[in-house]
Structure 1
Amino acid sequence: EYTTSSFLLDVNSNRPDYLDRLWNSQSYAEAKKIYYNLRDEHALSIPFYSYSADYFRMWDANFSDQILSTIAEIGFDNPQALLVMAFKLEDRGNYDRAESLYKRIFELAPNAAQSHLDLARIYVTNKKYKEAFEVYKKILRNEESEADFTEIKTQAISEIQRLLNLHRSELTYKDVPDELLSVKGVPVRLVFEWNDPQSEFELQFVSPKKKFSKWKHIFRENKEELTARVHTGVLSKEFIMDNSMPGEWLVNIQSFGDTSDLNPVFLKYTVYTNYGLENETKKVQCVRLYNQKEKVTLDKIVL
């Protein structure tokens, strides 16, 4: 029984106090001056650049993008840092730049299954369907010597079915199993992706009848599955929602564990409605997971 209540996610909750000076700026010129002063003190802090980039969007989108790019500069050899920037670029709809980051992450972590899946996903987003199809087929075959795709196969199947359903005319698909060619649309598909394999958090799904279920990314409680995921480099999980229980669902989230300024834990949340069908819609949100020590409602979904 779901007997508690949660506040809706506030992107500025638990914002560092030192950023109050920036948020209280009265002009763009004053804000830039404060930003540069703060940068001297927080030069290697990814949260600082993340918050600052979000703040400056109301003043100057180009300057905001410059600030965000700093994350790639200080984390050029750090896949966890690069994923933060890639998540935020997708949140902003800047998919071309996100693709270049996913390619860099692939170079840094070719043994991680997630690197391959992320590359296929961004190819689809950027309408490079043939390139995406080749990556998906490689995942399905699971014959790549440097990577084990077992833990992401279910997600890959969902995505290759969608790709074939919506863009079959642009692909050569004789070498895939027939069952992948069947039309398969679902009301809602949720995909959660995170940048730190050691992060610990809990997802809670509350039904319209106020019953809840949980999925825990907590090692002491889900050791076997999570150890396998870390070993093969998997940083995502999908959930499918059907129409068997119509009404309003809540998606709650809570984070556990510590974080660092250099490798803070971020989460990318993607919700697809009418997944795999012509009227599909998609929403992407980047969440500072390290800030969510209290349970918050990430989304409300009506089926």
Structure 2
Amino acid sequence: MPLGTLDRTPPPFFKQGPSALSKLMFFSALALFLMVADLRFKITQPIRAAVATALYPVQWLALQPVRAVQHGGGYFTALSQARASEEEAHKKLAFQSLRASQVEQLAQENSRLRKLLGLREQLAISGVAAQVLYDAPDPYTRKVIIDRGLVQGVELGSPVLDEFGVLGQVTRVHPLVSEVTLVIDRELAIPVLNTRTGERSVAFGEPSAYGGGLELRFMGSNSDVQKDDLLTTSGVDGVYPSGLPVAKVDRIERRAESAFARIYCTPQAKVNAAVHVMVVKPVSGGELPPPAAEPVGPITKGGRK
């Protein structure tokens, strides 16, 4: 048989369906459609919650060797360091005992003054203790994952604290775990109050400053801000309780060509080493009393009757 008459096409038995180019175009269009649908309609949120719930036991098992190594290293801590820590703890305990003896008297005076001035009582803070499991895998954000979720009563937007100050805010909640955006993330902003001057401002996350910090923006170049000024939550946003430590002013740059100063701050919380945290319910989550109703009546020329 001449070679020119041979059929060089594969038999039908070995045909694999559509071509590779057709498959590439189809799956590319499907991926683009799913990304747009997820962005607009959040269709993958239940899937994320289910996957996070299913992977939680695997994450827990994977973290056990790391915790075992950490606990083993802590067990072999030098005795001198342990004694130094004990002495420091005794000093702090004595100082706290001295201050605690004055708390009850100050609380009573505060309550009497508020009643005298007709001010409402401060809101009680309630929260849930949690532990940081690991950092979020996204390298472009500063987030951590904690071991409390919807089952434990964690709400979206809840402030998260450590023993030193505000650590961040809950930005995603799953049934068993939650995602916390740290205060140094560029997408987080906190209304703050300068305890020395009483001036309010907003602190924005600045992850590129000294490995992670905050920045006071839109502050005039002649504003009364000094190094080591303590910034606390102002409470005007209805999310963070007032008076929580947020940061200290670290560096101030005043430029003649700019009307605003560049003010960099260091967070009070241990954003890179937090282990045990407290998740506090948002102030606006049903705890704020309703505003007083205005008197209703016909309006006259001189005002309301």
Structure number with higher strand proportion: 2
Bigger relative CO (Cα 8 Å, ≥ 6 apart):
1
The structure having more radius of gyration, on CA atoms, is 2
Structure number with higher helix proportion: 1
What TM-score do the two structures reach when normalised by structure 1? Answer: 0.27
What TM-score do the two structures reach when normalised by structure 2? Answer: 0.27
